[in-house]
Amino acid sequence: MKPTRKQEIIQVAASLFKEKGYSAVSMRDIAQAMDIKAASLYNHISGKQEILSTLILEVAKAFTNKMSAITLETLTPLQKIEKVIEIHIDITVNYSENIATLNNDWMHLEGDDLERVVKMREDYEENFRSIIKQGVAQGDIKPQHPEVILFSILSTLRTLYLWNEKRGKMDVNVLKKDMVSVLIKGIA
């Protein structure tokens, strides 16, 4: 599929945003990377804000959809956590630049988009928290502070995008197995 000009702009912008952050990238930077002038961008997009919200909403929706699908499945809590780890790796492989922007520049969203994304993130976390609490209640997960478990797994998964160079050489399925093992069974 040949990308539309709009999709091209968003992809180029995503790569620059990942490198320097939304605020440090100008419309001129994006245009220069495409070998056109900044004014030409506005024939395809309404402004810089549209690039940001498109980029972030795309991947935020992916996470939300996958997570609610997992919640509905009939699996043990530990199996669900395993699935969460796997979908995180899959989405990271496909949207690594979007995730950088979601993590680092969500606060530069404006209006309804900001509210929506914050809400999606809260819902996601709440779903994850429920899985952990259920695992603790069933005795499958250690009676540790659920917040500590949630935080430590989630921060590893959320920064996976930073790890793409080293991961590049690793097979995705090997990475999934290792990650599941380390996060669930520990290292000792």
87-116 residues in contact with DNA (CB under 7 A) are: none
- Alpha-carbon distance of 14 to 11, in angstroms, equals 5
According to the binding rule CB under 7 A, does residue 40 interact with DNA? yes
Q: How far is the CB of 119 from DNA (least distance, A)?
A: 24
Residue 3 burial by CB count (10 A; 0-12/13-18/19+): exposed, middle or buried? exposed
Count of Cβ atoms closer than 10 Å to residue 143 Cβ: 8
Q: Contact positions toward a second copy, by CB under 8 A?
A: 19-24, 78, 104-105, 107-108, 135, 140-142, 144-145, 147-149, 151-153, 155-156, 158-160, 162-163, 166, 170, 174-175, 178-179, 181-188
Q: Which of 154, 125, 149 is nearest to 136 (CA)?
A: 149
C-beta of 39: minimal distance to DNA in Å? 3
Please choose, from the candidates 48, 44, 43, the residue with its C-alpha nearest in 3D space to the C-alpha of residue 30: 48
The three-state secondary structure class of 145 is: coil
Q: How far is the CB of 23 from DNA (least distance, A)?
A: 8
Find the binding residues for DNA in span 47-66 (CB under 7 A). Answer: 47-49
47 binds, among a second copy, DNA, none (CB under 5 to 8 A by kind): DNA
Contact status: 170 vs DNA (CB under 7 A): no
Binding mask 12-31 for DNA (x = CB under 7 A): -------------xxxxx-x
Q: Which of 36, 38, 91, 100 is nearest to 67 (CA)?
A: 91
82 versus 113: smaller Cβ distance to DNA: 113
DSSP for 19-45, written as a single string = HH-GGG--HHHHHHHTTS-HHHHTTT-
CB 141, CB 135: distance < 8 Å = yes
Partner touching 158 among DNA, a second copy, none, CB below 5 to 8 Å by kind: a second copy
Which residue from 1, 16, 173 is spatially nearest to 104, judged by alpha carbons?
16
Q: Is residue 37 near DNA by the rule CB under 7 A?
A: yes
Binding footprint of DNA on the chain (CB under 7 A): 5, 25-29, 31, 35-40, 42-44, 46-49
